[in-house]
Structure 1
């Protein structure tokens, strides 16, 4: 039950990232590049401060830190730039679809074959996601934006996979944020910087709390769940964001979204409560 609660809390933190970003960028309070940079900077400061109070340094000079930092930077940069041209619903569909496909593929390569029940649960949840996020007649995706969102999905999938090996989730997350900051800062040269006080506050909250602490919590959960389960539960994030957007941002909540949320939550529940995954002979544990 504890893992289920922490996983649910983490998914809400991930959904909050979407709400905070939408409120800042779509509301004209901050440009996407500046928001991404301040988001990473805030996360780095908060995590480094917690590590300092804990009495330990930030382990930056380790070879295993590079995959996590690079994949986090790819996700942050591609995600921000994609939403300059991409419809929000289609972008979320591409992102989490790619995450699921990438993580299931990686798990299969390691011999961590999803059970039929997990596959059925994932299909049900993904169909619900399609129902909620399928674009309307005028929602054709910009090819560049779609490509960037695919890159963001691959980056987040790699970041999640790398996190399953983290022995100290807080230190690993702090190091990843610090190391990826110079990479994300490159965005400032591509877009004109603009920000209001409200935009800065939203970016700091998104980076320091829902991203920094949320990602550290996610890293602490990952070693305790399978790759297939990690892929399935993340499908809940777009639906949570849609429902929360209706409550906090006044967005419309049509019947189709309610039906979609039911499918996604039901599919996740079916998949996550499945028995342990099957392993092929000779495969290594992850």
Structure 2
């Protein structure tokens, strides 16, 4: 994911970046599907899924780091990022006990983007009025989905997914300029694991797991989380933040399609309207920001 503080050498989307972005989008959408399938089938509890996901991801990244020629450049320990990652992974899994894949993905990625935009506003960054209108439209779309009413899924799940999005937004903002995405992600996964275990014990004490549930958690951690995060971390270092934002808009519809195809999840009118508002709002904000930046460069 992206932070809206563009490095000076950021470029437009190249074929290589587009390929990496596509891999990351597929990984992020798959994470939602794997978690929902595991919990929907009652093959594992949410806390245990989170713990195994982080441990498997950390072990995979550690092995990749050790096997890399000359080893990856070591990053300084960042406990704030590790705590944010642990909170994100824990609440992500817990929220999917009551949310569908499409709803969860929309709330998560919508909240992430709104968190990052909000952080930029608080830091004094100036946005075009169209970008601010888009920000407001996306906020209204999320509120339309999350305000309790007829057809709204478990409100506690929505709150947890929203909090997970804030945590992931913070993690993204802190990791935008890391020297080595592989080394930083490895360290964060390993440090976040005990944090996630403690949170799981506090928030969800009943543990159970079958072979199928463990396998799903391992795949989520070792493949769609670990590898997906590193690929995305590499891609965003060569993208403008707004280009990265545009790529991320693909995740909720891809996840929703997967939920319909593999889990037979219904698509409500409320979800469709909210999705249109959130995605259109974020697109307006991203495109307006990109145009504003291009005009600044032309002066």
- TM > 0.5: yes
Instruction: Give the one of 166, 171, 174 matched to 2:183.
Output: 171
Which residue of structure 1 lines up, in the alignment, with residue 114 of structure 2? 101
- Deviation of residue 75 (structure 1)? 0.6
Q: Which runs of 5+ in 1 are unaligned?
A: 282-286
1:10 aligns with 2:2: no
- Matches for 1:29-48 after TM superposition, within 5 Å: 29-48=43-62
Instruction: Give the one of 132, 150, 158 matched to 1:137.
Output: 150
The answer (yes or no) to whether the contact 1:112–1:278 under 8 Å persists in 2 is no
Any idea what SS the aligned residue of 1:113 has? coil
Moved more, 47-56 or 243-252: 243-252
- Deviation of residue 149 (structure 1)? 2.9
Which residue of structure 2 lines up, in the alignment, with residue 218 of structure 1? 232
Are residues 28 and 141 of structure 1, via their aligned partners in 2, closer, same or farther at CA, if it must alter by over 3 Å? closer
- The count of residues paired between Structure 1 and Structure 2 equals 277
Which residue of structure 1 lines up, in the alignment, with residue 8 of structure 2? none
TM-score between the two structures when normalised by the length of structure 2: 0.76
- Matches for 1:1-286 after TM superposition, within 5 Å: 1-2=14-15, 3-56=17-70, 62-63=76-77, 65-84=78-97, 86-88=98-100, 91-119=104-132, 137-139=150-152, 141-143=154-156, 145-189=157-201, 190-227=204-241, 230=244, 233-253=247-267, 272=286, 275=290, 277-278=292-293
Which residue of structure 1 lines up, in the alignment, with residue 10 of structure 2? none
CA distance in 1, matches of 2:124, 2:280: 26
- Deviation of residue 134 (structure 1)? 8.0
CA distance in 2, matches of 1:169, 1:90: 29
Structure 1 residues 52-94: Cα deviation after superposition (integer angstroms, max 9, x where no partner) = 100455777824x22221110111122223344x444655454
Q: Which runs of 5+ in 2 are unaligned?
A: 1-13
CA distance in 2, matches of 1:26, 1:178: 27
The answer (yes or no) to whether the contact 2:146–2:155 under 8 Å persists in 1 is no
CA distance in 1, matches of 2:220, 2:82: 18
Any idea what SS the aligned residue of 2:237 has? helix
Structure 1 residues 134-168: Cα deviation after superposition (integer angstroms, max 9, x where no partner) = 8761536445x444333212110011111211111
CA distance in 1, matches of 2:18, 2:48: 34
TM-score between the two structures when normalised by the length of structure 1: 0.79
Any idea what SS the aligned residue of 1:46 has? helix
Are residues 249 and 90 of structure 1, via their aligned partners in 2, closer, same or farther at CA, if it must alter by over 3 Å? closer
Moved more, 211-220 or 101-110: 101-110
The answer (yes or no) to whether the contact 2:114–2:135 under 8 Å persists in 1 is no
Moved more, 159-168 or 249-258: 249-258
The answer (yes or no) to whether the contact 2:84–2:167 under 8 Å persists in 1 is yes
The answer (yes or no) to whether the contact 2:245–2:286 under 8 Å persists in 1 is no
